[in-house]
Every structure is written in C-alpha cells, then in structure tokens.
Structure 1
Amino acid sequence: MSLTWPDHPITLAEWEALPESGDLRLEVAEGMLVVSAKPVFGHQRACLRLTARLDEALPDDLIVLGDVEVMLEESPLTIRAPDVVVMRTDVYEPDRARAEAAEVLLAVEILSDGTRRVDRVLKYSEYADAGIRQYWIVDLLGQVTLTAFQLVDGEYELTGEWTGSASPQVASVPVTLDLDRLTAR
C-alpha cells in the first residue's frame, strides 16, 4: 500500500478516504497518521480469546468488540483502535464505522513490540483524557499479566494486577480470566 503523506493534520473526511490496508494498522493521533505493523499470531490469538471470554462472561446489555475505531477527539483528530472494547449494547449498531470515546466502558490494549510505550504511556493518557472509564493492559511477554485501571476524577487508578487467574470487574460486573489460556493451545 502506498499513501500520500499529508502536509497538515488530517481531518475526519481525509481519514475516512484512506484506502484499506491488510498489512498495516492505522490510527491517527492529533491529526498525524500513526502506522504500525499488524499484530503477530500470539497477539491475535490472545485478542480473540479475551474477546470471546468477556463475551461469555458479560450480561446481554454489554457488548464486546475487537479492533474497533474509537474517536477520542475530533479536533485535532485522534482515532485509536484498541484491541478490545466493551460498550453498552444499546449503542451498538452493526454498520457503524467507529465508537465515540464516551460510549466505551473498557478499552484493552495487548502490548506488542513497537507499541509497548505507546500503550503504557500515550494511550493511557489519551484514554483517560477522553473519559474511557476502564483501561486494561495485557502483557504477553513472559508470564501473561493483566493490569487494570479505573478512571477516578479524570485520572486512572490501579485496580489490580494479575498473573495466572484474574478477577477484574467490567462495568461493575466481576469476570474471571485464565490469563495463561489467552496464548496457550
């Protein structure tokens, strides 16, 4: 895929006009395109398993989606694509292109080589500023860990850090996760 690089912060209309790319993952931060490689197999497997497990555990009024665009800010345009999001089912529409940050109850990022710092620092800050109530970071390096944060007075507070079996809450609903099963066969 070849892109003509804009010489200005891109707009939502320009973002929507970009061609699809199977090889790259595109996001936009403060109007600037952010390009990264598509996730590797282990990351994809963990994402699929986490999405499926949350979908099983959560009530019908919550919906779990993977790799959904979330508009954090329209000007300057900031659109991120968390690995997993949880939203209320009543805002879900099958044909929507993206969610608004205010609709996202939980955003999950699974760390990858090349995005670890972005996920731990930049997205952590962006998601808090956008008002996303919960943020989880899943690290697959070594023993799988889940670090969970809850938005309190505009700042994320640590609510738990787990290896092995995790027992976080999603929108006040307790879930149990076997973190080692996220990557195991």
Structure 2
Amino acid sequence: MLKAVASWPDHLLTLAEWSALPEDNRHCRELVDGVLVVAPQPPRHQLAVWRLAAQLERALPRGVAALARIELVIDEDTPPTLRVPDVLVVGGAAGAAHASRVRPCDVLAAIEIVSPGSRRTDRIMKFIEYASAGIGHYWLLDTEGAVRLRAYRLRDGDYEPAGEFSGRVTLEVEGIALPLDLDALTALRTPA
C-alpha cells in the first residue's frame, strides 16, 4: 500500500525555490534541469557514505575536506541542475570552510556509491555531467557483495579508467595519498 505523497511542484524549480524546500534527511533530493528528483537512502548506503567520508577526512591536509551529501551546483542557469554526490573531496575556500554548497571548480574528486535506485544516474548521467563540469576524479563504489571501487580520471574533457580496486588500497587525488579500507565501509560490527 502506498503512503500519501506530499504535493509535488507543478513547474520547473529555480535555485531559490530549491533552497526554500524543507530539509529531508530520509531521502536524497537533487534538482535536474529544474525537476525535483527524490531517491531513498538505504541504511547500508548511508553507512558507506559516512565511513568513506571519515576515512578520507583523516588523510586530507588542511584546506582540503571530505564532505558527505552536500550540494554541487552543476548549472545555475534556468532551469538549474544541482546534484548531491555521496562524498566530495573539496579544496580552496570550500575545503577550509566545510561549505554546504560548492561549485565544480572547488571539487577535486566526486564519489558516488551505486545503489539499486542510482545505477543509471551514477554510471551515465553524473559521469557525463561531472566530466563536463571539469571535475578531475570520479569514483564509483559498488557495495553489493564485495565492495569494489572504479576510479576515473579526467583527460581531455572525458573520464578514462584509472583502475578497479577492492580491499585495502591507496589512491591519489592531486598528489594527495588516500589510504582506504573498502571492506570496512559496510562491515558489520561484532559485539564486544
């Protein structure tokens, strides 16, 4: 049985209207060409997001930050596109201030954790959008079964594969070594 759905916008939203929407931590909301897009956030997905951000944050120098679930303005023109990547590695003023909304020029790496409701968006749409916006690194994490990370690096305006990884790995973003334990992103904790 479906629950009652709140009233949906009947027009393309502006960035100002998007900003005025009430907070909702239960869903991932993005604005794509002015259209509100909403997806659930499964618990395993959320766990991986926060653990990944924590692992990255420990390895980053001052002025660079790993930020989870913040707004990335892809296109401010009407109708606007605003994505909410799972994790961003940001530098400059955005990294120093732990901003809540960033521009592509602030982003060193965008990381998406693929889930059943985001496969096509993460692997096709965001892949194209982030490359077009000039984001230097794009990582796709698949947490179904053994955790796997596919890394891409921007070259001549397109992403090219930079490797597929599992287990413990050290990746590099703009000269910064980032040690990761991919299995720990979704591992269950055992009682003490």
Query: Does the 8 A contact of 1:167 with 1:175 survive in 2?
Result: yes
State how far apart, in whole Å, the 2-side matches of 1:164 and 1:15 are: 39
Greater shift, 134-143 or 159-168, is seen at 159-168
Greater shift, 170-179 or 63-72, is seen at 170-179
Report the counterpart of residue 129 of structure 2 in structure 1: 126
Report the alpha carbon displacement of residue 168 of structure 1 after superposing the two structures with TM. Answer: 1.4
Report the alpha carbon displacement of residue 94 of structure 1 after superposing the two structures with TM. Answer: 4.7
CA displacement 1:85-118 (0-9 Å, x = unmatched): 1111533465844101111111100111111111
Unaligned runs of 5+ in 1: none
Query: Does the 8 A contact of 1:53 with 1:177 survive in 2?
Result: yes
SS in structure 2 at match of 1:53: helix
Distance change (3 Å), C-alpha of 1:134 and 1:4? same
Report the counterpart of residue 3 of structure 1 in structure 2: 7
Report the counterpart of residue 165 of structure 2 in structure 1: 162
The count of corresponding residues between Structure 1 and Structure 2 is 183
Instruction: Write the letter of the residue equivalent to 2:66.
Output: V
Query: Does the 8 A contact of 2:108 with 2:135 survive in 1?
Result: yes
State how far apart, in whole Å, the 1-side matches of 2:96 and 2:18 are: 21
Report the counterpart of residue 58 of structure 1 in structure 2: 60
Structure 1 outlier segments of 4+, above 6 Å: none
Query: Does the 8 A contact of 1:104 with 1:132 survive in 2?
Result: yes
Are residue 148 (structure 1) and residue 157 (structure 2) matched? Answer: no
Report the counterpart of residue 44 of structure 2 in structure 1: 42
Query: Does the 8 A contact of 2:63 with 2:95 survive in 1?
Result: no
CA displacement 1:104-151 (0-9 Å, x = unmatched): 111100111111111111111111111111110000011100111111
Distance change (3 Å), C-alpha of 1:51 and 1:97? closer
Greater shift, 173-182 or 130-139, is seen at 173-182
Report the alpha carbon displacement of residue 160 of structure 1 after superposing the two structures with TM. Answer: 1.2
Instruction: Write the letter of the residue equivalent to 1:120.
Output: R
Give 2:27's match in structure 1, choosing from 24, 27, 30. Answer: 24
**Any residues of structure 2 matched to 1:96-135 within 5 Å, and which?**
96-135=99-138
State how far apart, in whole Å, the 2-side matches of 1:6 and 1:95 are: 33
SS in structure 2 at match of 1:124: helix
Greater shift, 169-178 or 74-83, is seen at 169-178
Identity of aligned residues (%): 42
Q: Supply the RMSD in Å over aligned alpha carbons.
A: 1.7
Query: Does the 8 A contact of 1:60 with 1:89 survive in 2?
Result: no
Unaligned runs of 5+ in 2: none
TM-score between the two structures when normalised by the length of structure 1: 0.91
Distance change (3 Å), C-alpha of 1:48 and 1:29? same
State how far apart, in whole Å, the 1-side matches of 2:100 and 2:178 are: 28
